[in-house]
Amino acid sequence: MALELKNVSKGFGEGASRTQVLQNINLKIEESEFVAIVGFTGSGKTTLVKMMAGLITPDSGQILFQGKPVSGPGKDRGIVFQNYSLLPWFTVLQNVMLAVNEVYPHWTKNERIDHAKKYIDMVNLSPAIHKRPAELSGGMRQRVSLARTLSMKPEMLLMDEPLSALDAITRGILQTEIVNIWGKDKTTALIITNDVDEGILMADRIIPLNPGPNATLGPEFKINIDRPRDKTALNDNPEFIKVRNQVIEYLLDMDADTSTTKTETYTLPKLSPIMPGSFKKSRRAA
């Protein structure tokens, strides 16, 4: 068992203004497994991943990483942030070196630089190695962030909506790249996303997070699609369509449940399409 969450709950605020974000989260992730958690924005996904990384501690419940309770951030769990979190005063290489220097302090400087360069190359950023984040596009920045995290060779890769700020094409490319890199190292991986397709494309298992407050994890959906998965061919894959519909249906049901307080009903105006050429006729008829 790589990561295990037992009855984890977390809330913010005090007294009347307190909101319970996550309630009784139970999750088990196997070694080398790729798990996706999908949910609406504001459902507590970032809180969940920050707890796994050790950046915040749960109010109750336990988080076990490889059998040991998580007490704080560790180099064994690499996290890729949604907003890249690069240090703008460092170049690409320096940003990656910051991580490499911490994880491999006993290596010589050249060994560390080579190691950093290897990972920058892995995310296809070698031409931009001496550029600063300001000179890079969003996709390139997320690649740097990915290289920084991967260079630490973490035993588990935590990704908090890593691609949600990117355009569809860059997103597609990076989805494949992340899966390829994961396939090589077979580290345990967890991706938080709001895109069901992305989850199904990348993960072995997809778990919806019910909308908060008091968010809990929904039932898991296993994705039995062989790897490597081809993003374009996937659209015709019956398994893909099945899982996709199940997950979306589940999410929409949950959303409807939480918003049942709406009593107002809207009557929609009756509309009938006007076909090309039919306009004149209808006027004559009137």
DSSP code for 2: -
Q: In this structure, are strands 205-209 and 221-222 parallel, antiparallel, or unpaired?
A: antiparallel
Of the candidate residues 44, 133, 211, 218, the single one contacting another protein (CB under 8 A): 133
| Contacting range for another protein; rule: CB under 8 A; set: 35-43, 86-94, 113-121, 216-224 | 86-94
Of the candidate residues 20, 24, 66, 83, the single one contacting another protein (CB under 8 A): 83
Give the containing element (helix H, strand E) for 21: strand 19-29
Q: How far is the CB of 191 from another protein (least distance, A)?
A: 17
Render the burial of 72-90: b for 16+ CB within 10 Å, e for the rest: eeeebbbbbbbebebeeee
Q: How far is the CB of 151 from another protein (least distance, A)?
A: 11
Q: CA-to-CA distance for 80 and 175, rounded, in angstroms?
A: 13
Q: How far is the CB of 262 from another protein (least distance, A)?
A: 36
Nearer of residues 149 and 210 to another protein, judged by Cβ? 149
Contacts with another protein by CB under 8 A: the residue count is 24
Q: Where in 34-73 is the site for another protein (CB under 8 A)?
A: 53, 55, 72-73
Q: Where in 93-132 is the site for another protein (CB under 8 A)?
A: 98-99, 102, 132
Contacts of residue 286, Cβ cutoff 8 Å, sequence gap at least 6:
none
What are the CA-CA distances from residue 128 to residues 94, 137, 177 (Å)? 12, 11, 18
**Contact residues for another protein, defined by CB under 8 A:** 53, 55, 72-75, 78-79, 81, 83-89, 98-99, 102, 132-135, 152
